[in-house]
Amino acid sequence: MVYESTRDNTKKLNSADIILQGISDDGGLFVPSAIPEIDSNFLLDMVNLDYRERAKRILVLFLTDYTEEEISRCVDSAYDPQKFSSDSIAPVIQLTHDISILELWHGPTCAFKDMALQLLPHLMRTAMDKKGIEEDVVILVATSGDTGKAALEGFKDVEGTHIVVFYPLSGVSRIQELQMTTQEGSNVYVLGVAGNFDDAQTGVKRIFTHREFNADMKKAGYRLSSANSINWGRLVPQIIYYVSAYIDMIDAQALANDETFDVVVPTGNFGNILAAYYAKQMGIPIDRLICASNRNNILTDFISSGIYDSNRKFYKTISPSMDILISSNLERLLYEILERNDGAVSYLMDELKTKGKYELTYEQHKKLKEQFWGGYADDRDTLNTIKSIYHQFNYVLDPHTAVGMKVLCDYREAVGGHKKALLVSTASPYKFIEDVLIGIGGEELVRNKDEFEMLEILASMSNTPIPESLRQLKNKEVVHTQAYAKENMEEAVAQIFNIGGVE
Ligand SMILES: *Cc1c(COP(=O)(O)O)cnc(C)c1O
């Protein structure tokens, strides 16, 4: 299997190359030159295998330049049962006879980003060895909350790597901040930025594109790299759980053989739902891909109108990991819808850059609508959904997953559909504790309570365990206290790695 750029498909690279490189130098994203297909025998063979063994069988189809031993080693380190609160790693829960929930938050940081960020560092480390990379890799991350912590946990103590996370001092929840400022590991740096997420993101981009600084880093033995969701090494692990969930649903008789089903994904950067699309291309009998957004509903509008228009107001919501106006991974879907025409993708991406907007042709839009349906929920819908699902089923949804549930209900109403559905649950409700409790019982439930008291309240109301990693935050020492002005982010990195005249 070779990989090509969505903006120039004449270059062909292997997977180790593109995992190290992250993004193509023409600005495009790397995609496989063909999606491997699997059949029912291949699937049936995996029924009695655990998540790790399933992962290995799927990854060998995509990472053909890695040996089976290399893949095996990466997977065993990533999905170590000791790091996950469920032996199934990604369990499927049957909520009703026609709604199953795929819980992707049993990893160390309680959000679905762990599914990819536990594996990516090992794929990268192995790629460094395969390619004989001499320098250490320095991962730079700007985070709005979930990615930073998941990347820290994934890269901590991985030999030959260092990770620097910038988070907005006024932009993450108390729990998220504590998760990061108490981070352990010998190669981790957590720095607050006075500003919002955009400031942190802009600062990181500036460091990546500053040639002189990159050259200085290289001279000192470091190469900068990124762990954000445009890296193929983050996308490919996400395909695994859709295949695994399908096998589990068949095994539990939640689905009949060959019965098609809908998948609902709470969406931000379009990575998770794109992985479901690839699983469908591989042969998983998914009918509709339902794209759930919050009030930042640019994707809902895009799917219904064929016009992607980012000239709009940005809202802060209670599902912050979906607060996004430019969904980078959409470019990979466009590449498929535009029949792998790299010139046409470049044209649309150029329109987006210069006008903040692009438009599909009638035929292209038709293809999009055949596969996808988009809907959204505002904060009030989200809280109401948390409340009603809790009262009906004694099951607690986090705000992101609640957006998905609301949109699933809207979809069924709109199309009169009764297909079975798989709802992807992207975070533990304990991670967004305050809004979850407000949803369930109103403001009174949280008045004058600190985060740790709130965790206890939810545990006793729902009869579910508090994730150990969140419970322990209370007693952990805050070790990362450095804060920087947004103008000084590069200087901060220079200081850490002794670059540019210091010493
Ligand atoms: C990142 C995230 C999302 C959005 O996923 P994308 O792959 O960016 O679409 C949804 N929910 C949670 C909890 C997240 O952390």
Catalytic residue among 12, 56, 83, 113: 113
On the question of pLDDT at 158 being above 70, the answer is: yes
Instruction: Return the percentage of the chain with pLDDT > 90, whole number.
Output: 87
Rounded CA gap, 500 and 482, in Å?
20
d(CA 273, CA 285): 15
Q: What phi and psi, each to the nearest 5 degrees, are found at residue 275? A: -60, -35
- Computed over every residue of the chain, the mean pLDDT equals 95
267 CB less than 6 Å from ligand 1? yes
pLDDT digits (tens, 9 = 90+) for 408-426: 999 999 998 789 999 999 9
Q: Tell whether ligand 1 has an atom less than 6 A from the beta carbon of residue 429.
A: no
Q: Is 272 in the pocket of ligand 1 (CB under 6 A)?
A: yes
207 within ligand 1 shell (Cβ under 6 A): no
Q: How sure is the predictor about 226, in pLDDT bands with cuts at 50, 70 and 90?
A: confident
| CB of 321 sitting under 6 A from ligand 1 | yes
d(CA 232, ligand 1 centre) in Å: 16
Angle between helices 298-305 and 362-371 (to 10 degrees): 120
Distances (CA, A) of 225 to 15, 141, 164: 16, 9, 11
pLDDT recorded at residue 391: 97
Report the alpha-carbon distance of residue 93 to residue 421 in Å, rounded: 12
For ligand 1, atom 2: residue with the closest CA = 321
What confidence tens digit (pLDDT) does each residue in 44-97 have? Answer: 999 999 999 999 999 999 999 999 999 999 999 999 999 999 999 999 999 999
Known catalytic membership, residue 113: yes
DSSP assignment string, 347-411: HHHHHHHHHSEEE--HHHHHHHHHHEEEEE--HHHHHHHHHHHHHHHS----HHHHHHHHHHHHH
Residue 482 tokens read as: 């450095």
The yes-or-no verdict on residue 503 having pLDDT over 70 is no
d(CA 436, CA 464): 14
Residue 320 has pLDDT above 80, yes or no: yes
- The pLDDT of residue 502: 45
pLDDT single digits (tens) 251-281: 999 999 889 999 999 999 999 999 999 999 9
Q: What is the mean pLDDT of the segment spanning 446-459? A: 96
Q: Is the CB of 293 under 6 A from ligand 1?
A: no
Output the pLDDT for position 403.
98
- Residue closest by Cα to atom 8 of ligand 1: 269
Cα–Cα dist 354/349, whole Å: 9
Cα(354) to centroid of ligand 1, in Å? Answer: 27
Q: How far is the CA of 494 from the centre of ligand 1 (A)?
A: 31
The atom of ligand 1 lying closest to the CA of 270 is 9
**DSSP-assigned letter for residue 443:** G
């799927």: which residue's tokens?
Answer: 58
Query: Closest Cα to residue 148, out of 121, 113, 115?
Result: 113
Per-residue pLDDT, averaged over 457-472, amounts to 96
pTM, full prediction: 0.95
Residue 118 has pLDDT above 60, yes or no: yes
Write out the H or E segment, with its range, that includes residue 51. Answer: helix 51-62
